[in-house]
Structure 1
Amino acid sequence: MNNWQEWVVGVLMVLCVVRITYGIYLFFHRMHKRCNPCESCVSSCELKNMMGEKKKECSMKKKSTKKKCCR
């Protein structure tokens, strides 16, 4: 690696490997924390719609149980 261009290519390759490794780490870290997989989705997807419907169902059930218990 005597040529400066080879050094630049080497540094870029290392940075690419670091970025890919960091992306994989973040993916598994989010999975470990059990975050919503569709949080970063820009467009709507089927999974995101299903999770939204489940949240609505759960919130409606909680509201109805609260009303029954209190009154």
Structure 2
Amino acid sequence: FSRKDKLLIGGDVLFASSIGRGDLPGGDIDVLINGIRKKLFPLGDDVTVLPGHGPPTEIGTERRTNPFLRGNGD
């Protein structure tokens, strides 16, 4: 994460309109979602996320529109 550049290399955690695979062996979808909410959301809505796959997105966009992250816990 670069605070100066407001840029996060997100790997396979957060994607545009999706999240990583919590259903794989050793994965836990609830831990993944809670981690995104508690660790990534506080970085700021204007932070650009460069995911491991797909187009860049912003934390604020995902907070508002990502179907996996809306609802309980926001």
TM-score bucket of the superposed structures, by smaller chain: under 0.3
Bigger share in helix: 1
**TM-score if structure 2 supplies the norm length?**
0.25
1 or 2 for the larger relative contact order (CA 8 Å, sep ≥6)? 2
**TM-score if structure 1 supplies the norm length?**
0.25
Bigger share in strand: 2
Larger Rg: 1
